[in-house]
Structure 1
Amino acid sequence: MTLQQRIERERLHGKVIIDTEEDNWGWNKPAGKIRWQRRLNYLSQALEDKHGTVLEIGAGSGTFTVALAEIFSSLTAIDICADLLEIARSKQPSVNLLCMDAHNLTFPNDQFEAIIGCSVLHHLDWDLALQGFFEKLKPGGVIRFSEPNLLNPQIFVQKNVPFVKRYVGDSPDEYAFTVWQIERSLKKAGFSQIKVVPYEFLHPSTPPKFIDTLIKVEKLLSKTWLKHFGGSLMIEAMKPADR
């Protein structure tokens, strides 16, 4: 399968997201709202200067874009699916939303101070995409992504068992990675100050009465080796200032 075929399959998957109204991600559930806020906090802290130039990869229907636009005054957001971007545009007309392939960014080099995204790298040929992100970042610029952790048992099954993958609404080509896989890819692309941290055992379907207890359990697990099996990875890296 060629890269272009993969891109087209991801574009078509955008229609699946629209049809399901993102229900498979559970953002509107009580636990899902907490998970959403965690990711927004992480992405929004990529830059101290909220007037810096920021690129969001995988804007989709604006799940995070709307809130990010209220934080960053110079936000550009891209997605491969024009239909999803129309929904995002209806929510936040002022954002610079562009239909663009994340593997082939058409911006000038050294343009952005931060490139961010949630659950998008694992849809891409991430080695190729990271090379492009590196080129478009200003020296000293940062990337931040929140992505699924392949070591998490649920994620491992979801990404490797075809009928489960279809049932939960994954796109055909998306996968996930481990800490050391993405660290290796970041180093290969030229990034430094790499920090990849597993986190989160709070499932979006957690009943409200158990949420507080599970959050306490999360804090305990984060201090043990079991943290490596958290459902997600916080990924941060910098383009060296001398590049």
Structure 2
Amino acid sequence: MTTRSQREREHFDQLAEELGSVWWGSVTTAGQLRIDQRGALAARHGHLAPGKRALEPGAGNGEFTLRLAQSGADITGIEIAPKQVAIASRRLASYTNATVIEGDVGHLPFPEASFDAVVGNAVLHHFDPSQTLPEFYRVLKPGGYCFFTEPNMLNPQIAVEKNIKWIGRRLQNSPDETAFFRWQIARLLKRNGFREIWVRPFDFLHPGIPDSWIPAVQRLSNLLSQLPLIREIGGSLQICGRR
């Protein structure tokens, strides 16, 4: 019987072979813009800067790692799929402040208080939080920040693809991935010792929209992300906590 970790490894190794990526939505023009925006959010809320050390769990092929490295912080990514690690290593070859190693985020190979921040994009929903959140807390320095952007279960499309598995498979979901309600992930962070927790829904920019629509949809997304009630069904959540 395969474990969750084994299924994740096989899934993302297969995507590495087929796409050289981790998900179809990361290679479109809108998808790239979303990664840019999330990288900026992670740098801001993770307080990344030269002299800081950050961990990126579930680093995949290094796409998000590149954005994090631009902060000047030292970035260590950890990824379970060796074929994704190989792509990331090639992609990051010219970056002296970023590396991706192979490993399981449920059993981090780092001592306590090793990092100033733990940050990531669309990865928490692939993990077992009962294993990973205690590990993130353990390797964070006192006062260090944890920041992720993750799919929002209140978004209609996200709810359908995460709960109707055959639709999720067609959209390249891995077998065990899910999404979060904002109050659910906030409780999980609190249960695992984090403080100063906040979770904000945002983003109505779908990675599949045509390139010519992006400017208008981006403006609309920014507006909707500010409106009470409507923003609750945004596609993603910003999740932040502090040790």
TM normalised by structure 1 equals 0.92
2:184 aligns to what?
181
How much has 1:23 moved relative to structure 2?
A: 7.8
> Which residues of 2 match residues 18-29 of structure 1 at below 5 A?
18=16, 19-22=18-21, 24-29=23-28
Q: List alignment gaps of at least 5 residues for structure 2.
A: none
The counterpart of 1:236, out of the listed 199, 216, 240, is: 240
CA contact (8 A) 1:195 1:237 kept: yes
Separation in 2, partners of 1:111, 1:68: 17
8 A Cα contact 1:54 1:72, kept in partner: no
- Aligned counterparts, 1:41-56, within 5 A: 41-45=40-44, 46-56=46-56
Post-superposition, which runs of at least 4 consecutive aligned residues in structure 1 deviate over 6 A? none
1:105-137 C-alpha deviation (Å, 9 max, x unpaired)? 120001110001111100001132111101110
Q: Which runs of 5+ in 1 are unaligned?
A: none
Query: Corresponding residue for 2:58?
Result: 58
CA gap 1:215/1:191 in 2 versus in 1, 3 angstroms: same
Give the paired residue count. 237
Note the C-alpha offset of 1:53. Answer: 1.0
For the 8 Å contact 1:43–1:145, the answer to whether it is kept is yes
What corresponds to 1:161 in structure 2? 164
92 and 110 in structure 1: CA distance in 2 versus 1, 3 angstrom threshold: same
Taking only aligned residues, the RMSD between alpha carbons, in angstroms, comes to 1.7
Identity %: 38
Matched ranges for 1:9-48 at <5 A: 9-18=7-16, 19-22=18-21, 24-45=23-44, 46-48=46-48
Moved more, 159-168 or 47-56: 47-56
Residues 68/48 of structure 1: CA separation in 2 closer, same or farther (3 Å cut): closer
- The secondary structure found in structure 2 opposite 1:26 is helix
**1:102 and 2:100 correspond:** no
Distance (whole Å) between structure 2 residues aligned to residue 132 and residue 62 of structure 1: 21
Structure 2 CA distance for partners of 1:47 and 1:23, relative to 1, 3 Å:
closer
Quote the Cα distance in structure 1 between the aligned partners of 2:126 and 2:219: 31
TM-score for both structures, normalised by structure 2:
0.92
| 1:162 maps to amino acid | K
Matches of 2:57 and 2:22, distance apart in 1: 21
Q: Which deviates more from structure 2 when the two are superposed, residues 177-186 or residues 61-70?
A: 61-70
Tell me if structure 2 keeps the 8 A contact 1:201–1:231.
yes
**C-alpha distance in 1 between matches for 2:191 and 2:37:** 29
Aligned to 2:228: 224
Equivalent pair of 1:150/1:156 in contact (CA under 8 Å): yes
